[in-house]
Amino acid sequence: MIGSKVNDILVFLSVVETGSFVAGGKAFGLSRSTAGKAVARLEETYGMRLLNRTTRALDLTEEGRSLYEHGQTIRAAIEAADESVAGDPSTPRGTLRITAPDGLGRRLLLPTVYRYLDLWPETQIEMSFSDRVDNVVETGFDLAVRIAVTSPEQGFVVRTLLRSEALLCAAPSYFETRERPLNAEQLSTHNLLMFASGHERQGWVLQEEDGTAYRAQGHVRLRCDSGEALREAALAGRGIALLTRVMIGEDIAQGRLEHVLPRAAFGTVPIVALYPHKRLLDARVRRFIDMLSDDLRRQPAD
């Protein structure tokens, strides 16, 4: 009885992660119908709906999300048992699924990814480059790297990898027809490039040299949901952007961007790793986080 329920839970995890009964069942050599029956048995056993089914998508209910989180622990325990029999349980094996912001991911994570794959030949990595803060569980990722996320959803662990200084920046070409601002108030005459995602709208609060806090005002004609897109807009001379030093430090050093209001402070921004809470954290996840933390700390941060 327990064994059959565990099998059904593993099929349920696969259905959630692939987003369909067809793909979820195929991972276990099962038909769509058989995978659907496995989920139906779980719903009958627990007396509640686990998935809301539509013609286009499968959405977890609250009960389904809870079962998914516990199911991950079951799967991790099985994988740990397999590894302990097959070899060193501290050796990463299998597929690691990571999501990270586009700019940060491409320029700062990929070197770590390459080194990780070279070091651990029994691993594979699947990466998604997106600034959207998707539900890591429902999208099947083992790990999310995010900027400025400090309060993750319940059931997630957050580990700060690096704190990077936030800087105002603009291309020299932007100031060819404009005066450079000498204080925060003068930003009101400039084009500001700001981050926006869904209902979230970025605002800038800076501390001037005398300690006064000031909310920056200006003409916001372009908002993007990608930090890399904001960087490219700044490089193109479209306005002033607020980005982390870890993203634009090289641009400033090479003169492609310049530091605007260098005496004003915007504080530091955390770059964090988010992963589902597990009693047994997979070796492949733990090793990658440790390696990424070391690599990021070698970057010019503050």
Q: What is the DSSP string of 238-258?
A: S-EEEEEHHHHHHHHHTTSSE
Beta-strand ranges (E) seen in the chain are 51-53, 58-60, 94-100, 123-129, 143-147, 156-170, 191-197, 200-201, 205-207, 213-215, 219-224, 240-244, 258-260, 268-276
Give 228's contacts (C-beta < 8 A, 6+ positions apart): 101, 102, 103, 104, 106, 247
Whole-angstrom Cα distance, residue 233 to residue 159?
30
Cα–Cα distances (Å) from 106 to 20, 103, 174, in that order, read 29, 5, 26
Cα–Cα distances (Å) from 240 to 128, 167, 301, in that order, read 28, 10, 20
Instruction: For residues 281 and 249, state if they share a domain.
Output: no
Q: Which of 86, 102, 135 is a domain's end point?
A: 86
Instruction: For residues 157 and 278, state if they share a domain.
Output: yes
Write out the H or E segment, with its range, that includes residue 41.
helix 32-46
In CATH, what number is assigned to the domain containing residue 56?
A: 1.10.10.10
Give 113's contacts (C-beta < 8 A, 6+ positions apart): 98, 125, 127
Instruction: For residues 264 and 282, state if they share a domain.
Output: no
142 inside domain: yes
> Using CA atoms in the order 155, 159, 160, 161, what is the torsion angle rounded to 10 degrees?
-140
Instruction: For residues 152 and 199, state if they share a domain.
Output: no
Q: Which of 86, 111, 136 is a domain's end point?
A: 86
Instruction: For residues 154 and 291, state if they share a domain.
Output: yes
Instruction: For residues 56 and 124, state if they share a domain.
Output: no
239 inside domain: yes
Q: pLDDT tens for the chain, 302 residues: list them.
A: 566 788 899 999 888 888 888 888 888 888 989 988 999 999 988 898 898 877 667 788 888 888 888 887 788 777 766 665 555 567 888 889 999 988 888 888 999 999 999 999 999 999 988 766 555 555 678 888 988 765 555 567 888 998 899 999 999 999 999 999 998 889 999 999 998 876 666 678 887 777 777 787 888 989 988 888 999 999 999 999 999 998 899 999 999 999 999 988 888 888 999 887 665 567 888 899 999 998 887 765 44
- How many structural domains is the chain composed of? 3
Q: Which of 86, 120, 145 is a domain's end point?
A: 86
The answer to whether residues 267 and 168 touch, using CB atoms and an 8 Å cutoff, is no
Read off φ and ψ for residue 183, nearest 5 degrees: -150, 175
Instruction: For residues 11 and 71, state if they share a domain.
Output: yes
Range of the domain at 188: 164-269
Beta-strand ranges (E) seen in 171-233 are 191-197, 200-201, 205-207, 213-215, 219-224
In CATH, what number is assigned to the domain containing residue 220?
A: 3.40.190.290
Return the axis-axis angle of helices 32-46 and 2-18, rounded to nearest 10°: 120
302 inside domain: no
The answer to whether the predicted template modeling score (pTM) of the entire model surpasses 0.95 is no
Instruction: For residues 63 and 152, state if they share a domain.
Output: no
In CATH, what number is assigned to the domain containing residue 155?
A: 3.40.190.10
In the three-class reduction of DSSP (H, G, I as helix; E, B as strand; rest coil), residue 118 is classed as helix
Instruction: For residues 241 and 207, state if they share a domain.
Output: yes
Whole-angstrom Cα distance, residue 192 to residue 169?
10
Alpha helix (H) ranges present in 98-138? 102-104, 110-119
Instruction: For residues 71 and 116, state if they share a domain.
Output: no
Instruction: For residues 199 and 113, state if they share a domain.
Output: no
Whole-angstrom Cα distance, residue 302 to residue 166?
8
278 inside domain: yes
The answer to whether residues 239 and 193 touch, using CB atoms and an 8 Å cutoff, is yes
Instruction: For residues 236 and 291, state if they share a domain.
Output: no
